[in-house]
């Protein structure tokens, strides 16, 4: 009996030793509706073979949470792999090379990091991952593939990803993301590219050593329109577990994710004003 009590105390002590998360906010299990602690979230995310974390790309809080999750999930059980939407196949050999040598001072250049992803936000995550024994894997399409899919969208197999509701939601999201400035004639091709990205991420996630974590944008991560649908259309028995990182005030439902971590609201950047200026409108 004393042995059992001691083991329980040691276990509780280990839980209490987990560093507090870097960002305050409500965490909810959307399946049950309950509010949970960061420690409970770690415990639950440590069980599935595949986890997708959906982020707002320019939100520093989201990247801080992702790094915290990677650090502490790795302490709970061996991590199999980490996949990033921000890496493309053309970069994989560079990633593999630096894993077997001291990291260069200019790591971004060594990886041919793409300008569209803010290195100040992603650098700490990449540096942490490269210091781990598990592989860091590219999950996105190469640029030439994107251009080819845009010019000639391929037929996408799968009833879930081809559902009318999915196509409608993606059309609206892409239109909103481009502030209504895209000609309607371009929209089907844009949706096709978006879904080919989702299909590639799903394929890479299923092939990755488990337990695997994919970091991607919110719409790629969502259960109702993104990668999880493609995982099921590829024949998997179960969809990945999804955690969405969202700012307070965002509407996130159980159809979109299994868990949501609401981070503090930040001032919104007026991307539409910037795009109108760029397009001269």
Shortest CA distance to 72 belongs to which of 17, 23, 26? 17
Looking at residue 262, what is its pLDDT? Answer: 98
Looking at residue 6, what is its pLDDT? Answer: 36
- pLDDT tens across the length of the chain (281 residues): 444 433 333 333 344 467 899 998 999 999 999 999 999 999 999 999 999 999 999 999 999 999 999 999 999 899 999 999 999 999 999 999 999 889 999 999 999 999 999 999 999 999 999 999 999 999 999 999 999 999 999 999 999 999 999 999 999 998 888 787 778 878 889 999 999 999 999 999 999 999 999 999 999 999 999 999 999 999 999 999 999 999 999 999 999 999 999 999 987 766 676 656 665 65
Give the C-alpha separation, 109 to 94, whole Å. Answer: 10
Kindly provide the residue ranges of all beta strands, DSSP E only, lying in the chain, ordered along the sequence: 27-29, 34-36, 50-55, 81-84, 136-138, 212-217, 241-247, 259-263
Looking at residue 275, what is its pLDDT? Answer: 59
Looking at residue 14, what is its pLDDT? Answer: 40
Phi, psi of 5, rounded to the nearest 5 degrees:
-60, -40
Looking at residue 1, what is its pLDDT? Answer: 44
CB 149 within 8 A of CB 196: yes
Give the C-alpha separation, 161 to 233, whole Å. Answer: 7
Domain boundaries, the chain: 23-279
Name the DSSP class of 158.
-
Looking at residue 11, what is its pLDDT? Answer: 38
Beta bridge partners of 27: 36, 261
Give the C-alpha separation, 119 to 125, whole Å. Answer: 10
Beta bridge partners of 83: 137, 214
Q: For 23-279, CATH number?
A: 3.40.50.11550
Looking at residue 35, what is its pLDDT? Answer: 98
Looking at residue 101, what is its pLDDT? Answer: 84
Give the C-alpha separation, 107 to 149, whole Å. Answer: 30
End-to-end CA separation in angstroms for the chain? 75
User: Which residues, including other chains, have CB under 8 Å from residue 251's CB and lie 6 or more apart?
Assistant: none
> pTM for this one?
0.90
């Amino acid at each position: 009996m004393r042995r059992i009590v001691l083991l329980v105390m040691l276990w509780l002590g280990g839980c209490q030793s987990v560093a507090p998360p870097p960002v305050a906010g409500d965490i909810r299990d959307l399946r049950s509706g309950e509010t949970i602690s960061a420690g409970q979230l770690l415990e639950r995310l440590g069980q599935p073979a595949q986890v997708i974390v959906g982020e707002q790309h320019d939100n520093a809080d989201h990247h801080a949470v992702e790094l915290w999750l990677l650090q502490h999930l790795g302490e709970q059980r061996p991590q199999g792999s980490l996949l990033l939407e921000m890496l493309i196949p053309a970069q994989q050999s560079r990633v593999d090379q630096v894993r077997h040598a001291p990291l260069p001072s200019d790591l971004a250049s060594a990886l041919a990091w793409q300008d569209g992803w803010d290195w100040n936000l992603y650098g700490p995550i990449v540096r942490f991952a490269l210091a781990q024994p598990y592989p860091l894997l590219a999950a996105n399409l190469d640029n030439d593939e994107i251009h080819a899919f845009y010019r000639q969208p391929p037929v996408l197999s799968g009833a879930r990803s081809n559902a009318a509701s999915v196509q409608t939601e993606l059309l609206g999201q892409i239109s909103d993301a481009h502030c209504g400035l895209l000609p309607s004639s371009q929209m089907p091709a844009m949706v096709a590219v978006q879904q080919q990205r989702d299909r590639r991420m799903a394929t890479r996630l299923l092939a990755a050593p488990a337990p695997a974590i994919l970091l991607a944008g919110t719409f790629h991560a969502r259960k109702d329109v993104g990668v999880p649908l493609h995982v099921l259309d590829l024949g998997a028995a179960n969809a990945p577990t999804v955690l969405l990182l969202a700012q307070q005030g965002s509407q996130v439902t159980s159809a979109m994710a299994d868990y949501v971590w609401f981070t503090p609201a930040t001032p919104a950047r007026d991307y539409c004003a910037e795009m109108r200026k760029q397009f001269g409108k």
